[in-house]
Amino acid sequence: MSLNRRILEWRDQRVWVVGASSGIGEALAMALLTRGARVALSARRAGELERLAAAHGAQALAVPLDVTDAAAVLPALRRVVSAWGGVDLVVLCSGAHQPVRAWDLDAADARRLVDVNINGVINCLAPVINQLLQQGAGGVAVVSSVAGYGGLPTALVYGATKAALINLSETLYLDLAPRGIGVYVINPGFVKTPLTDRNTFAMPALISVEAAATAIIAGFARGDFEIHFPKRFTLWLKLLRLLPYRWYFALVHKGTGL
C-alpha–C-alpha distance, residues 60 and 174, integer Å: 32
Note the pLDDT of residue 196.
66
C-alpha–C-alpha distance, residues 37 and 189, integer Å: 26
Q: What is the CA radius of gyration of the chain?
A: 18
- The separation between CA 187 and the C-alpha centre of its own chain, rounded to angstroms, equals 8
The 10s digit of each residue's pLDDT in 157-167 is 999 999 999 99
118-143: average pLDDT: 98
- Catalytic residue of the set 149, 158, 173, 184: 158
Note the pLDDT of residue 257.
83
C-alpha–C-alpha distance, residues 181 and 167, integer Å: 17
**Across-strand partners of 186?**
143, 227
C-alpha–C-alpha distance, residues 198 and 183, integer Å: 30
For the chain, the first-to-last Cα distance in angstroms comes to: 40
Instruction: Say what the pTM is.
Output: 0.94
250-256: average pLDDT: 90
The 10s digit of each residue's pLDDT in 186-223 is 999 988 877 666 666 566 778 999 999 999 999 999 99
The 10s digit of each residue's pLDDT in 14-33 is 999 999 989 999 999 999 99
Average pLDDT value for the chain? 94
The string of DSSP codes covering 34-54 is HTT-EEEEE-S-HHHHHHHHH
Within 94-142, residue ranges assigned H as helices are 107-114, 120-135
Does 245 participate in catalysis according to the annotation?
Answer: no
Q: Residue 76 pLDDT > 70, yes or no?
A: yes
Q: Residue 133 pLDDT > 90, yes or no?
A: yes
Q: How many CB atoms lie within 10 A of CB 111?
A: 12
Q: Residue 233 pLDDT > 80, yes or no?
A: yes
Band (pLDDT 50/70/90 cuts) for residue 1 is confident
130-137: average pLDDT: 97
Note the pLDDT of residue 200.
61
The domain segmentation of the chain, as residue ranges, is 14-256
Q: Given 3.40.50.360, 3.40.50.720, 3.20.20.60, 3.40.50.300, which CATH number is that of 14-256?
A: 3.40.50.720
C-alpha–C-alpha distance, residues 5 and 139, integer Å: 9
85-106: average pLDDT: 94
